[in-house]
Amino acid sequence: MKYYFDTSSLVKIYHREEGTETVLNIYKKHDEIIILELSKIEFISTIIPIMTV
């Protein structure tokens, strides 16, 4: 099965919040996860402030 991850799903992999367990289960069990190029850019701009706190 294919899964499409948006920015909020990507952030849940690296920052524990509501929905993290669901996203991690999908991330660990499935081969095909599709991420848009825009989500990669949004992820970087979102995660850097979280990681530097």
* Percentage above 70 pLDDT, the chain: 98
What is the Cα Rg of the chain in Å? 11
Look at residue 6 and tell me whether its pLDDT is greater than 90.
yes
Sequence-ordered strand ranges (E) for 3-49: 3-5, 33-35
Residue 53 pLDDT level (bands cut at 50, 70, 90): low
User: pTM of whole model > 0.95?
Assistant: no
pLDDT digits (tens, 9 = 90+) for 33-42: 999 999 989 9
The C-alpha atoms of residue 50 and residue 47 are separated, in whole angstroms, by 5
